[in-house]
Amino acid sequence: MTAVLGAAVTGVDAAYVTYAPGLAVPESSVHVQEFADVAQRSGVLLSGRGEPAAQKAEQTSMPRRRAVR
How confident is the model over 6-20, as a mean pLDDT?
80
CA angle 40, 41, 46 (to 5 degrees): 15
Task: Dump pLDDT digits (tens) for 17-56.
Answer: 778 888 788 888 888 888 888 888 887 766 556 667 767 7
> Which region, left, alpha or beta, applies to residue 22 given φ > 0 means left and ψ of -120 to 50 means alpha?
left
Question: Which residues neighbour 26 within 8 Å (Cβ) at sequence distance 6 or greater?
Answer: none
Burial, 4: exposed, middle or buried (Cβ in 10 Å; 0-12, 13-18, 19+)?
exposed
Q: pLDDT value at position 11?
A: 84
Instruction: Answer yes or no: are the C-beta atoms of 39 and 46 closer than 8 Å.
Output: yes
